[in-house]
Amino acid sequence: MTEQLRLMAVHAHPDDESSKGAATMAKYVSEGVDVLVATCTGGERGSILNPKLQGDAYIEANIHEVRRKEMDEAREILGVRQAWLGFVDSGLPEGDPLPPLPEGCFALQDVEEAAGALVKLIREFRPHVITTYDENGGYPHPDHIMTHRISMVAFDAAADPDRYPEAGEPWRPLKLYYNQGFNRPRTQALHDAMLERGLESPYGEWLQRWDEFQRKDRELTTYVPCADFFPLRDKALIAHATQIDPDGGWFRVPMEVQQEVWPTEEYELAKSLVETSLPEDDLFAGIRDN
C-alpha cells in the first residue's frame, strides 16, 4: 500500500494500553504506522495499586487528573496518539452478592448509543486494523466487557452510511483482533524458563488458578515479533505510577529471559475482510499488498 497504515487500539482504562499490546504498537510506530489508542474511560474509580503511593491524599482527591497525566507520559513513550471517548469508569464491584454498578458509568450505557463515540473516532482516524478485548473482556471487568461490545458494534457500523449518519463519512476497517497477551502457552513457557534457571516464578499461582477455574484457552492466530520493544513497553507501564509497582510482579521475569523465551505478543483474529493465512506474524497481513 502507498497509503500510510493505521492501527487503532481500543482500551477500557488508562494503563490498559501499556499492559496489552504496547510492544506491538511501539514496533509499528517505529515502522511508520500511525497508531491511535482509544481510551473509553478516565479510570476515575481505579484503586491506587502501587503501595508506594497509597495514602497520598492529593492523588486520592485528584485521581482522574493524575491518571490523565500518566496517560500523557505513556503515550509519549510509546509514540502513539491517544483519544478519550469520555465515559466514566465503572469500578470493579466486589463482594457477594456483588453491589450494583454506579449510576451513569460506562458499563451501564446503552451499547448502541455508546458505540456512536467509537464510530465517530473510527471514521475520523480511518484505521485499517482495530484491536480490542474478547467477549470476556480479557478478564471480567465490566468496562472491559463493555469495550468489547461497543468495539464489535462500531467495527461493522463505521462502514454503514445508514448507521450513525451524524458521525462522519463511512469507513470500513479491514481486520479486528482480540488482545490475548495473557495466554497459557506464554505463561507456562516463562514459568518453566524461570524454574529451569533456578529462579522463583511469579506465575505458579496463575497457572494453578487456570486449572481451578478451568479457563478455556483462546485460539492464538497472530504472533507479532516485538521483543526489542519490551523495554519500552515496561517504561510506558511504569509511567502509570498509581497502577504499577516497579518492584512488583510485572517485572520479576528478567528482560533477557522474556526476549529469549517468548519474543512475541499474541492476538486472536476475530474478523477479517481480507484474505490471510494463519498463523500470522503481522496485524496487517493481507492488507499491506492489497
Q: Is 16 annotated among the ligand-binding residues?
A: yes
**Which residues, at least 6 apart from 45, have a Cβ–Cβ distance to it below 8 Å?**
88, 89, 90, 91, 92, 102, 105
- Cα–Cα dist 30/232, whole Å: 12
Give CA angle at 105 (164, 63), nearest 5°.
120
CB-based contact 283:131 (threshold 8 Å): yes
The grid cell for 121 is: 473516532
For residues 121 and 168, give the distance between their C-alpha atoms in angstroms, rounded to a whole number: 9
List the one residue out of 16, 59, 64 whose CA is nearest residue 44: 64
Residue list for the binding site:
13, 16, 144
**Residues in binding site for Zn(2+):** 13, 16, 144
